[in-house]
């Protein structure tokens, strides 16, 4: 286990601050390890820019600087070996809104939207927002790693299937898809004329040493032509409250449809969102490297402790700071409630399409994580 890091060990006191994550259990002794928000302070350079803007004292409409676009282009090239053009970018105030718009742009009422299950809950409801039907493809296990079940995908795909809503890397199971899997997936989508919305919000949170993220659209020009990629600095740099996300769409006709679906209902990101995104991409790399180091150690600690708790089977986490646990072995009616009563607030797998499972957020201090693991161990031991 790597030594602790004083920066990530020392977090602000979130109580009484209208935090979604902490507010849920305000006034109760329940450790919040649920919604995907990390407890850490943002990078010091990002905080400085926020202070500078506050001192400036004017909060009017903003626009992305050419430098932000340049940073994104350079980042795609350097980190993901993907060359994109400035006019492929469409700015968005958030990812959930981004994939809802994609479903609207890619299909029509009555069409089917495919998605791997379990998945981030808003994926489950997005198709229904536009009269489209979600078809869940249960993921399969290769050893203890979740991946796409190509057999189930082939059986579930019908002439009504028009869109695949893809989570890459995958929340909540922590899978980083390999190039080989992506090639096979791309080939399947092209064969069945499926458009893909690829939510890659977690792409800069790879926990395996030396791993690199391959965007689906970087696999081939053919799949790029069918793909809307969504990305954001929000998860990576812990800025989710300052919505600044973007779609990358190389196909001009698809981009036109996407912008039309946005028209009049999707605002631009706030000026502060643009500014903090730029600061994070420009200055945040040392912070991100330290974060990954810290999260790896949290993951390793949680995996080894959870594996020792009878009835719990944790899955490996290659990406994201979210750890997926099979709690069916506990044989309790509602594992989320069971641990909540023991003072640990986890996400309920039922919300992701998998009752009996739990999701644990590793984005907290080592001390809080240890305390939560102690409580979980004691609760199971005391049954």
Residues lying near ligand PLP in the complex (CB under 6 A) are found at 36, 94-96, 120, 167, 171, 199, 201, 232, 234, 240, 243, 245
State how far the Cα of 324 lies from the Cα of 302, in Å rounded to an integer: 11
> What's the CA angle centered on 213, arms 370 and 218, to 5 degrees?
155
| Residue placing its CB nearer to ligand PLP in the complex, 129 or 155 | 129
> Residue 203 or 309: which CB sits closer to ligand PLP?
203
Region class of 320: left (phi > 0), else alpha (psi between -120 and 50), else beta: left
Smallest separation (angstroms) from ligand PLP to the CB of 283 = 21
Q: DSSP for 366-381, please give it.
A: HHHHHHHHHHHHHHHH
**Smallest distance from the beta carbon of 127 to ligand PLP, in angstroms?**
15
- Main-chain dihedrals φ then ψ at residue 149, nearest 5 degrees: -95, 95
Residue 15: exposure state from Cβ atoms within 10 A (0-12, 13-18, ≥19): exposed
Closest approach, Cβ 280 to ligand PLP, in A, equals: 14
Shortest gap between Cβ of 230 and ligand PLP (angstroms)?
7
Beta pairing class for 31-32 and 344-345:
parallel
Measured between alpha carbons, how far is 255 from 195 in angstroms, rounded to an integer? 13
Looking at the Cβ atoms of 95 and 153, the one nearer to ligand PLP is 95
Pairing of strands 161-167, 195-199: parallel
Shortest Å distance, C-beta 329 to ligand PLP: 26
> Of 106 and 330, which has the nearer Cβ to ligand PLP?
106
C-beta of 299: minimal distance to ligand PLP in Å?
A: 17
Identify which of residues 309 and 336 has a Cβ nearer to ligand PLP in the complex.
Answer: 336
Nearer to ligand PLP, 14 or 192 (CB): 14
């Amino acid at each position: 286990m790597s030594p602790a890091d004083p920066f990530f060990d020392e977090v602000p006191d979130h109580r009484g601050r209208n935090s979604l994550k902490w507010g849920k259990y305000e006034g109760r002794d329940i450790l919040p390890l649920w919604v995907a928000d990390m407890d850490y302070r943002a990078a010091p350079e990002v905080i400085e820019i926020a202070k500078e803007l506050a001192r400036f004292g004017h909060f009017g409409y903003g626009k992305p600087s050419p430098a932000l676009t340049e940073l994104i282009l350079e980042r795609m090239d350097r980190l993901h070996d993907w060359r994109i053009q400035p006019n492929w970018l469409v700015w968005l105030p958030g990812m959930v809104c981004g994939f809802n718009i994609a479903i609207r742009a890619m299909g029509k009422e009555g069409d089917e939207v495919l998605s791997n299950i379990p998945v981030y809950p808003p994926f489950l409801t997005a198709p229904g927002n536009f009269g489209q039907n979600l078809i869940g493809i249960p993921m399969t296990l290769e050893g203890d790693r979740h991946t796409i079940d190509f057999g189930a995908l082939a059986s579930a795909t019908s002439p009504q299937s028009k869109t695949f809503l893809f989570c890459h890397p995958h929340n909540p199971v922590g899978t980083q898809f390999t190039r080989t899997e992506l090639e096979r997936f791309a080939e399947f989508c092209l064969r069945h004329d499926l458009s893909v919305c690829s939510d890659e919000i977690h792409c800069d949170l790879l926990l395996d040493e030396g791993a690199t993220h391959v965007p689906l659209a970087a696999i081939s020009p053919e799949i790029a032509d069918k793909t809307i990629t969504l990305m954001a600095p929000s998860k990576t740099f812990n800025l989710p409250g300052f919505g600044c996300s973007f779609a990358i769409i190389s196909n001009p006709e698809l981009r036109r449809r996407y912008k039309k679906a946005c028209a009049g209902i999707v605002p631009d990101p706030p000026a502060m969102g643009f500014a903090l995104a730029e600061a994070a991409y420009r200055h945040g790399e040392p912070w991100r490297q330290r974060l990954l180091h810290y999260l790896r150690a949290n993951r390793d600690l949680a995996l080894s402790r959870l594996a020792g708790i009878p009835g719990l089977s944790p899955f490996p986490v290659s990406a994201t700071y979210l750890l997926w646990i099979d709690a069916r072995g506990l044989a309790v009616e509602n594992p989320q409630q069971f641990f909540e009563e023991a003072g640990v607030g986890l996400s309920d797998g039922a919300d992701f399409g998998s009752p009996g499972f739990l999701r644990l957020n590793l984005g907290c201090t080592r001390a809080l994580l240890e305390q939560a693991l102690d409580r979980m161990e004691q609760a199971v031991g005391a049954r």
